[in-house]
Structure 1
Amino acid sequence: MITGTPHSFKWRLVRWLVLFETAAISLVIAIAVGLLWATGYLIDGYENGNIDVLTDAIVRDGQNNLVVQETPELARLRREVGEIWFIARDRAGHRLSEGAVPLAFAFATAGLDRMNDGRFRLSPDKDSRPEAVVKWVDSPAGNIQIFTGTEGQLTLRRLLLGTSGAFLTIFVPMLLLLALATIIVTPIVVRRMLAGLSHAAAHAAHIEFDQQGVQMPIKGVPAEFLPLVEAFNNALKRLDEGYARHKRFLAQAAHELRTPIAILNTRVATLPPSDGKARLIEDTNRLATLAGQLLDLQRLGKRTTPFCPLDLRALAERVIVDLAPLAFAAGYEMSFDPADEPMIVLGDHSSLERALTNLVQNAIEHGGRRGKITFRVMAPARVEICDEGDGVPLAERERIFEPFSRLHPGGKGAGLGLSLVREIVHLHGGHVAIVDATSGGACFRIDLPPA
């Protein structure tokens, strides 16, 4: 029994793929940053260390002058480097300086107002780290120009801010794109991969109880699900074998019963007339009917001849002619309401005749031996047999079609007649049910597909 809502394999796969991609991208970023930090590429080759610290430390006082605010990062820079030097200025002419500009860069101090960004190297190697830089930056004091050395290193806060910015501007869009592609593409891929399994499941959904030798197709089924499909096919095979044994048992039992029943009928017929003889004859007829019904069930499962067209109205007339004397003798009136024209259906003549006969006999047996039994044939291919007895309770209308199920346990029937009717009707692609009758009794309705 399934409890709760079953999980979707497709969407669970999509969710895990998105989580895996997120974790993978985050891990790649962490490894890349860690390697760059460990190798010193970001630290030793970083030329804006002093500028980064000074950018956060330079502010304005109450007179709008540029002043230095001692920040923890500036204090750390002073401890690591010692004496630092810088010149800071804004476009309004405010100027702030500290330390002595090295002689090698003194020439640049006079031309700072004509510079934007610049690098100053003492070494001719273009790939080496410059010894001084000049750069316009946005600081708490506004947009200012800073000219200073490059002794400082990249701070952890700047590294995290830069990494976060790169992650938000580059990797997050990439991640969203991957997630979107995963959500769209993965269901399509999974559906195509599981197409064989879906085909097998659809095939299994149309397997009926009376179909033997049917197997789920394994072509296209993924290898991971193949054991499940093979196990289901093996279960179907075992069910077929058990069903075949059951049918053989029914056929053999019915054949074995016919001979002793015939002998018993012969011996009972030789007895002198009495009330006991009448009851014995009734009991032997019941046994003969039971054996005949068992054989009918067995023959239904072995139908090899194709259906042929037959007139349902003519078949009903024949049943009425055969059973009317029995109904009159039991105290009933008979009413036959045929269709205005022949009702042609495809079927087996003897099987459908047996079904209609069983329903009329059931009405005679359970109609209360009073009132009228009505037999109707209506378009397109419907038959109704109604009585004026006590009817069938609503809760019992499905159960009485089960084998050996009887509405009244003390009745004379064996409980196979209505089951046989349902088997015959289903074999012909039709439907049998009990509907409410205007007379208050039971009304059995058979609908068959017209030819």
Structure 2
Amino acid sequence: MTRSPSLKRPLIVYPLVFHFVTLLVSFSILIAVALRIDSGGPYTDERIIPIIADAVERDAAGGLSVVMTWDLADLRTEAPDLWFVAEDDQGERVVFGTVPEHYASLLGRLSDLSYAQLRGRVAPYELAAVIRRETTEIGTLTILGHGALSELGFMVVFATNTIILPIFALLTLTSLLVTPWIVRRSLAGVSRIAREAEEIDADSRGRRLSETYVPQEIAPLVRAVNDALSRLDDGYERQRRFIASASHELRTPIAVLASKVDTAESRAVRALALDVQRLATMTEQLLDLHRLENNRQEMAFELAAVGRRVVADLAPLVIASGGSISLDVVDSETCTGDAAALERVLMNLVQNAMDHGGTNIVVRVLGTAFEVEDDGPGIPPHERERVFEPFHRLRPRATGTGLGLNLVREVMDQHGGKVEIRDAPGGGTVFRVDLGGV
């Protein structure tokens, strides 16, 4: 079986993959451009500034001096060519190491600067230096220093790990959570019309799918389905009118035919009486189906009273065929529905028991349900649903129309009840009709 394509893949998975690839390519290009821009060689790592600031103190005269702290000693070991100048805003300064003569003009004016990154063009890059202002316990110092060198590539990788990667992770998380939510919200109307479509059946004609909440791209499909439902309703209505009209028109010629057959002198013609009766019964049952949909009359009635009328009417026919019929009222409750239609249901079940069952028939009333039990050969389990289909016959017979049990199912569907077939305790069949809360 071919699996139906899902909208989740093109609407969620594919956009997410595209977003991730775009972000990766964009970050890669950003890193490459940053590396390409760099043309100044290595630079002094500005992490030397706090170490230098901690090593600068004031002497008794207010001047600046350098104290060899452990961190400064480690920094000098790491960078033997370490040098720096620390200057306060009053012009006091202290020099450590050998300051290149290129920066001589800056001495005494460092406080005018706040930030700079200076690089040398040739190895060993002794001119690479950094300028920063640092606030300390002895005041604000402007420091010009040279120490351990770093490459720009390291800083780019560092920036990627500390800035770009968290942004990438945040965008990824947002896409995973927000995109599916947006798609589900956009397709909520589709789920709604799917539920509406599940509720449409043969008994809910005239219903249409709502076009209000579906996306514009799916609205043409919904309109096409609604148009198809309209055509089906029209076709069903034409068929229903045809069956009703044909049944009405057939009643008169069948009655005339039955009269002529009954009064015929030829034995062969009189032998057609059974077939004519089948035609008359089929016509009445088709009219019953028509009346179920158009002339249903709701009323309160006692199920036991319906059982008594049916048994009284059919007892002579059962006895004439060599059988017996009895009524057992275990419990009777007041029901609401079409009493005439339910009476026809019971008559059809008794007639079915006479034609296909045994010789002994029991009609049993059980509150809002009734049973018709016979002692015939029974109905195989695999046939118990098919016997309710129109014109389906379990065994070929000259009697019956093939519509009786179908009429029973239609009436029960109209009343919201159900009909079941069970095995009789002593062999045979039990048809149980349950009206439930009807």
- What range is the shorter-chain TM-score in? 0.7 to 0.9
The aligned residue for residue 435 of structure 2 is: 448
For the residues of structure 1 that align with 2:175 and 2:43, how far apart are their CA atoms? 40
Deviation track 1:56-82 (CA, whole Å, cap 9, x = no partner) reads xxxxxxxxxxxxxxxxxxxxxxxxxxx
Identify the match of residue 301 of structure 1 among 281, 286, 293.
293
Letter in 2 for 1:348: D
Residue range with higher mean Cα deviation, 172-181 or 418-427 = 172-181
Superposed CA RMSD: 3.6
The aligned residue for residue 364 of structure 2 is: 376
Letter in 1 for 2:238: R
- The answer to whether the 8 Å contact 2:118/2:129 transfers is no
Q: Could you say if the C-alpha distance between residues 344 and 179 of structure 1 is closer, same or farther in structure 2, counting changes exceeding 3 Å? A: farther
CA shift, 1:192, in A, is: 2.7
- The answer to whether the 8 Å contact 1:308/1:348 transfers is yes
- The answer to whether the 8 Å contact 2:35/2:156 transfers is no
- The answer to whether the 8 Å contact 1:333/1:373 transfers is yes
- The answer to whether the 8 Å contact 2:373/2:424 transfers is yes
CA shift, 1:176, in A, is: 2.8
- The answer to whether the 8 Å contact 2:301/2:334 transfers is yes
> What is the count of residue pairs matched by the alignment?
377
- The answer to whether the 8 Å contact 1:11/1:187 transfers is no
For the residues of structure 1 that align with 2:307 and 2:155, how far apart are their CA atoms? 92
Identify the match of residue 393 of structure 2 among 383, 386, 406.
406
Is 2:266 the counterpart of 1:283?
A: no
Identify the match of residue 419 of structure 1 among 402, 406, 419.
406
CA shift, 1:8, in A, is: 5.0
Deviation track 1:283-329 (CA, whole Å, cap 9, x = no partner) reads 111110011111111222324x5522221121111111111111111
The aligned residue for residue 348 of structure 2 is: 358
For the residues of structure 2 that align with 1:93 and 1:24, how far apart are their CA atoms? 45
For the residues of structure 1 that align with 2:329 and 2:372, how far apart are their CA atoms? 12
The aligned residue for residue 48 of structure 1 is: 43
For the residues of structure 2 that align with 1:416 and 1:424, how far apart are their CA atoms? 12
The aligned residue for residue 109 of structure 2 is: none
The aligned residue for residue 129 of structure 1 is: 118
The aligned residue for residue 435 of structure 1 is: 422
Matches within 5 A, 1:18-417: 18-38=16-36, 40=37, 42-44=38-40, 47-48=42-43, 91=74, 111-112=96-97, 121=103, 129-131=118-120, 132-133=127-128, 154=151, 159=153, 162-272=155-265, 274=267, 276=268, 278-303=270-295, 305=296, 307-340=298-331, 342-368=332-358, 370=359, 372-379=360-367, 381-417=368-404
CA shift, 1:338, in A, is: 1.0
For the residues of structure 2 that align with 1:214 and 1:97, how far apart are their CA atoms? 90
For the residues of structure 1 that align with 2:344 and 2:8, how far apart are their CA atoms? 52
- The answer to whether the 8 Å contact 1:344/1:450 transfers is no
- The answer to whether the 8 Å contact 2:43/2:119 transfers is no
For the residues of structure 1 that align with 2:103 and 2:245, how far apart are their CA atoms? 109
Letter in 1 for 2:236: Y
The aligned residue for residue 138 of structure 1 is: none
TM-score between the two structures when normalised by the length of structure 1: 0.73
SS in 2 for 1:439: coil
- The answer to whether the 8 Å contact 1:133/1:149 transfers is no
Letter in 2 for 1:280: L
For the residues of structure 2 that align with 1:401 and 1:221, how far apart are their CA atoms? 39
Q: Could you say if the C-alpha distance between residues 292 and 444 of structure 1 is closer, same or farther in structure 2, counting changes exceeding 3 Å? A: same
TM-score between the two structures when normalised by the length of structure 2: 0.75
Task: Among all aligned residue pairs of Structure 1 and Structure 2, give the percentage whose two residues are the same amino acid.
Answer: 38
CA shift, 1:97, in A, is: 7.5
For the residues of structure 2 that align with 1:295 and 1:409, how far apart are their CA atoms? 25
- The answer to whether the 8 Å contact 1:433/1:445 transfers is yes
CA shift, 1:374, in A, is: 1.1
Deviation track 1:262-282 (CA, whole Å, cap 9, x = no partner) reads 1111111222384x4553221
- The answer to whether the 8 Å contact 1:311/1:343 transfers is yes
SS in 2 for 1:392: coil
Structure 2: tracts of 5 or more residues without a match: 46-71, 84-94, 107-112, 121-126, 131-144
SS in 1 for 2:118: coil
For the residues of structure 2 that align with 1:391 and 1:96, how far apart are their CA atoms? 105
Q: Could you say if the C-alpha distance between residues 43 and 399 of structure 1 is closer, same or farther in structure 2, counting changes exceeding 3 Å? A: same
